[in-house]
Structure 1
Amino acid sequence: MTISDDRKRKLDGLFKAFSIVADGTYVFVCDMQYNFSRWSKSAVDYFDLPGEYMEHAGEIWGEHIHPDDKDSYDESVDALFCGKATSHDMQYRTLSRDGHYVMCTCKGVVLFKVDGNLDYFCGSIRNHGLFGHVNELTGLRNKYGFFEDLRSVISKEQPFVVSTISLTHFSDINTVYGYEFGNLVVQKFARKLVEYIGNRGLIYRLDGVKFGVVSESLSIDELKAYYERIRSMINDGFMVDNRDIRLQTSAGAIAVDRFPVSDKVVYSCLVYTVGNSKRYRQGDMEVFDNRLTKENLDKLERLEAIRNSVAHNYEGFCLYYQPVMDAATETLKGAEALIRWQNDRFGLVYPNDFIPVIESDAIFPVLGEWILTQAMTDAKRFIEKFPDFVLNINLSYVQLKRTDFVETVKRILMETGFPTKNLCFELTERCRFVEKEILYAALMSFRQMGIKIALDDFGTGFASIDILKYITFDTIKIERIFVKDIAANEKEERLLGIFTDVAATFGSDVCVEGIETETIRDIVKKYHVNSLQGYLYSKPVSLEDFLAKYIDH
């Protein structure tokens, strides 16, 4: 339900009135009829919220609240919207955009219509953790100052470059020499950065041992050259308190030359690139290529639009479903849910073009919840006709790293009424970024709930035999690259035989993806394979098309 212009004007008027009297706090006003809110710009910036205007702001804000405080928060907000309470006054810890929890006090009241129905929820939030933008250890601007300056540079709409540099394996320094000495190393490295960059850019101490660089005068090539000089210096060693210290680094960068673009999208791209630098490029600077999609306009603009869509009730997002067929009977066995996004300007956008980057964004857990909820809601119609139907949903490593994710899944299962026996979570290649202990604990919880677990992309990257030693999988999914040339490549067929033998050894079923021709299907079916997936049966299709083809006919 879209808010009317008249209601929006009234909301803005209330917001202005509260802003005048709420000195030193963040203000919010929620139209309870439409669940549409306006929040202070300073709160949006500090906590990395989607925007000043938000639909379902309470749920989005709830994702930032510490897991130990969230139940009390949810209970209080539910009481407001159910009419059981008329005011809200509580303290909780809230995740800021720099990844740290700060204590906040939130106070609000409900305004009622003449007829007694809920009208507006208005209030203020005091941030007890806001005290300046300077890092005490290094004297550099901190992460909050970084974002403040980044927004200022963006507002000029002139080209600039921005980079993050991370010290890798720094915990070894603290372990060997102690934290006090580690602080000396951080101070020395910060001074070296300032010395090398000089007046050609601004240096920032971000969280942990990460540093930021913003320059309006350097090109990407020049920035890379400075980084290599710094990297060479610390690799060769530099003296700290009479000790010769050698460090390793990773770095990501982006040249921003198209506007408008938000600081949030720029930072998401930086997190993505510095991660790639560490994992795939041995510390070489990874530059985000914003020229990859010039035919569809710029990738940054698209990511900005996608991010805004999440904030506006997931506008443009939908789920497609690709059938999974029983290998023996070639009848419908289940389906994999796949996220899509589209709008009039950018057309249909596939997940590989935005998920790896938006995973780094604070808004991603909200989107992940929507995917789970929507997929289970849709699939309830499937299992009415096929009681043994299994819904496959891909999990992100970001979701699995969250301490409250298991409880989130339990809540969604309860809200949707979806049977756990009909649900299968797929682990993707990027789940290798989760610590084994955390991953194991989450998956064991899901298995105890009756949820099946599948290992996607077996044989590539993370999905190797190693993980089978400590996690039991119901299904191993063999990626299409291992069968696409199987008719002409005897080695591919041998590999398929090896993979199915490995699966049998560990008691796992096998699903083969990439079944695109009858020839591929016939060869694959010679082996111990339980299910098939691919274009021979169907490409991923919309919910309506899936229902028409498999459910309603």
Structure 2
Amino acid sequence: MENHSEHLKFLDNLFSTFTIIARGNYVVLYDVKKRITRVTPAAADLLGLPGEYIPSGDDVWETHIHPEDRLTYRRNMKALLSGESRGYDLTYRTQLKDGSYAVVRYAGSTILDAQGKPLVIGGILINEGVTAVTDPVTLLRNQYGFFRDLVAAIELKRNCVIVLCGINRMNGINEEHGYSFGNSVLQQAAWLLQDVVGQEGTVYRMEGAKFAFLTESLSPEELAVKYEKIRRAALAGLPVENVRQVLSINGGMIHFDGGKYDERTVQACLNFAYNESKFYHNGKLVNYNGAIGMNTHESLELVAEVRNDILMDCKNFSLRYQPVFNAETEKLVAIEALLCWHSERFGDVPPSAYVPVLERDFLFEELGYWILRRAMEDGLKLLKIKPDLVLNVNISPAQIVDDFLFGEIDKISKSVGFPLKHLCFELTQSCRLIEPDILRRIVHALKRKGILCLIDDFGSGVASIDFLRDLAPNFIKLEREYILNINKPGNLQIVRHLSELATELGTKVCLKGVEDAHIREIIKDFPIVNVQGHYYSEAITLDEIVEKYL
């Protein structure tokens, strides 16, 4: 058996060979079996790594990859470690010793052992340059500068307020008038923000048509007044190339003073407030106040702990399943996977406390695929007992628009052995905010794969008859509030007419929120196919499903 010193000697010899052919570029080798990374000393110094030999090198290296690039990095590493990919030429934003990010190119290949399994991943590292912190269009600090300042504010526990605001229909302005005109719009918007905020804060150009301003000297109330002044000025029109360009904007705000959370947690909560402003409050400023029963500080720390848990392979997450029954026979026909999370500090926390914030976070894709894999593994056990059972899994906007969605579905279903014809994706309410044409194409593609599709909370928010007609889902679940308040004037008629309309269009109706016998009796003559609610069962464990219903 090869001892450790011999293995290191092999790695060193290989490193010398790579150094010769690297022509002055940094060399990086990763020993797959020993999980040791060997890197050129100068590269270790550049990146602030612990040395040229790094135990658990894959984990250490990931911490230096920009948070928004980590999911892609992780997927590419999985492809290399599984043998799915051999060569690579990839670019990631990578953190340097001073905390800044540089665009770094990684290129190389995988060396296989005698059995054809990956032995060493080796190649070169090229620093493409430190990421600039000035936006060339507006000359404001850009989002990299924003994150540097935000990190410093959190570490120093400064009392800060941030507003994230954005211009609606910027793509339409560019298409109608050209990108030169669009850049002039962004410049005028930047000048307006700087004029209103003045010396009391810093204004940043974020991605696309978004801006942020951060202040330590203004209260949330004072900043809200300034935002409203900006919003009204934009609606009155900004002078752009001899015309007045009317703009509508949205804005989210957060107030923090340091705690056990990082800049990405603050960003996730800020984005949530921004999207609430955009989709539900007509651009009025929305202040992030935290989850129900928590202040902003506690909620930020909760979201931070959840995000960290996702990065640690979702160790504190679990699934429970709520049974779905045939409305006529009251026999089990499906189960809906429901997410649970527990921590020592916060105890059992409902998804409503963190899912709305994280749905648009890049990490939510990772959690979503963990849910899908775990649910398929559990569902397969039940299919062996009840071959016609359907597994319902909620799918988020982040997953719906993920370029890897169909590849991940195929990969997970094949590795688990779960037949896709028994899978039903429940589109959450926020999925309906996706561009309709994009959503329609994706839903139709899912159905072509044999996956069932369900629109959840139909009749609420932005749900419309158009979704029923254009998406042609297999199922809809009616908005729960209609059912819980079935005796309220008009609700009974809405439930009946929506059920009849969906049935006529070929969509089956599932009624959730059936909490008692009274509700069950009222809707028994409606064209309802499936029912779900506490009258039948709350969410229970897999073993309880087997014990009670199979």
Contact 2:131-2:144 at 8 Å conserved across structures: no
Q: CA 1:432–1:38 in 2, change beyond 3 Å: closer, same or farther?
A: same
Q: Distance in 2 between matches of 1:502 and 1:102?
A: 54
Q: Distance in 2 between matches of 1:333 and 1:34?
A: 46
Partner residue in 1 for 2:81: 77
Deviation at 1:463, TM superposition (A): 3.1
The residue correspondences of 1:424-439 to structure 2 (distance < 5 A) are 424-439=424-439
Q: Distance in 1 between matches of 2:65 and 2:49?
A: 8
Q: Distance in 1 between matches of 2:439 and 2:94?
A: 25
Q: Distance in 2 between matches of 1:420 and 1:350?
A: 28
Q: CA 1:522–1:102 in 2, change beyond 3 Å: closer, same or farther?
A: farther
Partner residue in 1 for 2:3: none
Q: Number of matched residues?
A: 510
Aligned: 1:499 with 2:492 = no
Contact 1:162-1:214 at 8 Å conserved across structures: yes
Aligned: 1:264 with 2:271 = no
Partner residue in 2 for 1:248: 248
Partner residue in 1 for 2:227: 227
Q: CA 1:21–1:435 in 2, change beyond 3 Å: closer, same or farther?
A: closer
Instruction: Indicate the SS of the match to 1:515.
Output: coil
Please give the per-residue CA displacement for 1:439-484, whole angstroms capped at 9, x wherever unaligned: 1222222211211111211211233211122122221212321222
Aligned: 1:43 with 2:43 = no
Moved more, 144-153 or 471-480: 471-480
Contact 1:15-1:27 at 8 Å conserved across structures: no
Aligned: 1:547 with 2:513 = no
Deviation at 1:150, TM superposition (A): 0.6
Q: Distance in 2 between matches of 1:340 and 1:60?
A: 26
Deviation at 1:191, TM superposition (A): 2.1
Q: CA 1:48–1:253 in 2, change beyond 3 Å: closer, same or farther?
A: farther
Instruction: Indicate the SS of the match to 1:39.
Output: helix
Contact 2:108-2:121 at 8 Å conserved across structures: no
Q: Distance in 1 between matches of 2:46 and 2:209?
A: 31
Deviation at 1:218, TM superposition (A): 1.2
Please give the per-residue CA displacement for 1:297-353, whole angstroms capped at 9, x wherever unaligned: 711110000000011111111111000011111111111011111112111111222
Q: CA 1:188–1:323 in 2, change beyond 3 Å: closer, same or farther?
A: same
Aligned: 1:343 with 2:355 = no
Partner residue in 1 for 2:89: 91
Contact 1:394-1:425 at 8 Å conserved across structures: yes
Give structure 2 stretches of 5+ with no counterpart: 1-32, 96-101
Instruction: Indicate the SS of the match to 1:38.
Output: helix
The residue correspondences of 1:4-43 to structure 2 (distance < 5 A) are 21-22=43-44, 24=46, 37-39=59-61, 41-43=63-65
The residue correspondences of 1:273-284 to structure 2 (distance < 5 A) are 273-284=273-284
Instruction: Indicate the SS of the match to 1:529.
Output: coil
Q: CA 1:76–1:39 in 2, change beyond 3 Å: closer, same or farther?
A: closer
Corresponding letter in the other structure for 1:549:
K
Q: Distance in 1 between matches of 2:364 and 2:358?
A: 6
RMSD between aligned residues = 3.4
Partner residue in 1 for 2:73: 61
Corresponding letter in the other structure for 1:91:
D
Q: Distance in 1 between matches of 2:175 and 2:133?
A: 29
Deviation at 1:240, TM superposition (A): 2.7
Q: CA 1:505–1:544 in 2, change beyond 3 Å: closer, same or farther?
A: same
Partner residue in 1 for 2:138: 138
Deviation at 1:279, TM superposition (A): 1.3
Aligned: 1:403 with 2:403 = yes
The residue correspondences of 1:117-516 to structure 2 (distance < 5 A) are 125-126=125-126, 128=128, 130-290=130-290, 292-294=292-294, 298-486=298-486, 488-489=487-488, 491-516=490-515
Contact 1:193-1:203 at 8 Å conserved across structures: yes
Please give the per-residue CA displacement for 1:150-195, whole angstroms capped at 9, x wherever unaligned: 1011111121111111111223432333211221221122122222
Deviation at 1:90, TM superposition (A): 2.3
Contact 1:26-1:125 at 8 Å conserved across structures: no
Q: Distance in 2 between matches of 1:175 and 1:493?
A: 46
Contact 1:320-1:337 at 8 Å conserved across structures: yes
Corresponding letter in the other structure for 2:88:
M
Q: Distance in 1 between matches of 2:239 and 2:462?
A: 38
Instruction: Indicate the SS of the match to 1:545.
Output: helix
Deviation at 1:429, TM superposition (A): 1.1
Contact 2:94-2:104 at 8 Å conserved across structures: no
Please give the per-residue CA displacement for 1:46-95, whole angstroms capped at 9, x wherever unaligned: x464xxxxxxxxx76245xxxxxx6xx65433229xxxx9xx76213558
Deviation at 1:543, TM superposition (A): 2.8
Q: CA 1:15–1:528 in 2, change beyond 3 Å: closer, same or farther?
A: same
Higher RCO, 1 vs 2 (CA within 8 Å, ≥6 residues apart):
1
Q: Distance in 2 between matches of 1:40 and 1:373?
A: 23
Contact 1:28-1:123 at 8 Å conserved across structures: no
Contact 1:512-1:532 at 8 Å conserved across structures: yes
Contact 1:28-1:124 at 8 Å conserved across structures: no
Contact 2:447-2:453 at 8 Å conserved across structures: yes
Percent of aligned positions that are identical: 31
Contact 2:324-2:532 at 8 Å conserved across structures: yes
Q: Distance in 2 between matches of 1:448 and 1:301?
A: 42
Contact 2:66-2:94 at 8 Å conserved across structures: no
Q: Distance in 2 between matches of 1:19 and 1:516?
A: 65
Q: CA 1:472–1:383 in 2, change beyond 3 Å: closer, same or farther?
A: same
Deviation at 1:509, TM superposition (A): 1.6
Corresponding letter in the other structure for 2:523:
V
Instruction: Indicate the SS of the match to 1:128.
Output: strand
Instruction: Indicate the SS of the match to 2:463.
Output: coil
Contact 1:48-1:362 at 8 Å conserved across structures: no
Deviation at 1:139, TM superposition (A): 1.3
Q: Distance in 1 between matches of 2:185 and 2:471?
A: 39
Instruction: Indicate the SS of the match to 2:60.
Output: strand
Q: Distance in 2 between matches of 1:122 and 1:154?
A: 37
Q: Distance in 2 between matches of 1:368 and 1:290?
A: 22
Q: CA 1:454–1:127 in 2, change beyond 3 Å: closer, same or farther?
A: farther
Q: CA 1:123–1:541 in 2, change beyond 3 Å: closer, same or farther?
A: farther
Q: Distance in 2 between matches of 1:259 and 1:75?
A: 36
Q: Distance in 2 between matches of 1:22 and 1:111?
A: 26
Q: CA 1:520–1:477 in 2, change beyond 3 Å: closer, same or farther?
A: same
Q: Distance in 2 between matches of 1:21 and 1:95?
A: 15
Corresponding letter in the other structure for 1:541:
I
Q: Distance in 2 between matches of 1:21 and 1:429?
A: 47
Partner residue in 2 for 1:4: none
Q: Distance in 2 between matches of 1:32 and 1:111?
A: 21
Q: CA 1:304–1:111 in 2, change beyond 3 Å: closer, same or farther?
A: farther
Deviation at 1:141, TM superposition (A): 1.2
Partner residue in 1 for 2:522: 523
